[in-house]
Chains A and B, each alone.
Chain A
């Protein structure tokens, strides 16, 4: 893997730090008075998801991280691994529990997810911002109530629970915002 000097730092650059792949969020060149310049870097640790800061001496180098993002189709789980497939090459990728933690409750077969691969293995599976999922359990709908006021919990086919308007019935397909876990609208066919 290539190495990068601080002069090449910019947001989105993937590099290795203390054995973990990281992605630069913000890079600031600092030169105190007449002293040695340094770079103040805000980055996300792609393994833990945490955001941190680090100071580098200017002209220091870091090792690049072999990190790529791919759109992969979710196939199935065997309980230990969650299997994804590249729809164009049919190549399979197995993600472990850590990698799917953030998207577990939104995983549906044949849907496409953004998978971050590190050295060819899934590091992080991110759901699309919006998914369409069917309601498998909720209290009976209240006929005529289309105001959406109040609401009730509904369990979706992937296990996620979201608050929905009172008129929603079991079997209906809903459009849901995965970032906030909120109901958006009834899905249009």
Chain B
């Protein structure tokens, strides 16, 4: 009867060998640069508040104790920043991370993230390092980069500094096949739709990775907000796109506990408004920032997706030993 159960891996053994090579290459890349490998807890009492990021939760309840919620990390970011505040210096981590509800051809609710922080490197220098890593460990061609503003200018002929939300809505509704006319979202929602449905497919036709930087200040997440050389108030955040995939997301990190606390509270208010669970804000992180996070940049990169680019496979299941359905 067990013979009817498909117990086989979802990836070919050859692919898993290539994957092991990638992990070894990544570790060599960082050891060559004196970046220290660290491990941090997968389970945490706190969780990110970001509105479209859903954490798995579990309960710690040994006999006789009151149950206490723990969350599986969606990224090792908070704990790594606490190490930075403690003065550890340049660090990286290869971590299993978990995101509820994210399942598809290019999403697996459990996936492998490479995340690193560089107190010594600036924002532009970190983008260069990401580019170097992609060339070194995955053999990708050198990346090009452009601001978020220029990407909209070049591919949609839209100046986002002066274009109002209802015009963005009109453009999205006319350019995105299958988007219902009664679709509702906020300004950032329209920008994200245009980015992923109109601009990204055009970036995908370029034979090189594209680094888009200086995101709108409203999409700062945990990045610093600053005025760039064009006089635009933007987030010091970048994303790397390659072969039609979003590969990495990086920040010049916001160091201010008060500022982050405000953003977390705002996230939770929006969660409440949308009847989503309010998340416990990470007091450990805020206390560490209070004590002093050194100026630093950081980036998270999806290693499973990088495996897609390396192997030319189309589905994450083909580069993961056992995908979610077989886990």
Contacts and interface: CB of A to CB of B under 8 A. Distances in A.
Interface of A: 7, 27-38, 40-41, 52-55, 58-59
B177 interface: yes
B142 interface: no
Contacts of B197: 40, 55
A41 B105 CA distance: 13
Nearest to A56: B180
Interface in B170-188: 176-180, 183, 185, 188
Contact of B196 (A33, A41, A54, A58): A33
A59 B219 CA distance: 22
Interface string B292-310: 0000000000000000000
B193 A32 contact: yes
Given A33-B239, A53-B178, A54-B180, A7 B101 contact: yes
Nearest to B178: A53
A36 B179 contact: no
A53 B177 CA distance: 6
Given A7-B101, A7-B103, A29-B102, A35 B178 contact: no
Interface residues of B, number: 30
Given A31-B107, A33-B196, A36-B52, 8 more contacts: A31-B52, A31-B102, A32-B246, A33-B192, A36-B189, A55-B179, A55-B183, A55-B197
Contact of B52 (A27, A37, A52, A54): A37
A169 B193 CA distance: 62
A8 to B, nearest CB: 11
Contacts of A53: 177-178
A117 to B, nearest CB: 27
Contact of B101 (A28, A34, A40, A58): A58
B101 A33 contact: no
B242 interface: no
A34 B52 contact: yes
Contacts of A34: 50, 52-53, 219, 221, 249
Nearest to B103: A29
Contacts of A54: 178, 180
B225 to A, nearest CB: 15
Given A32-B192, A32-B196, A37 B178 contact: no
B80 interface: no
B32 to A, nearest CB: 31
B104 interface: yes
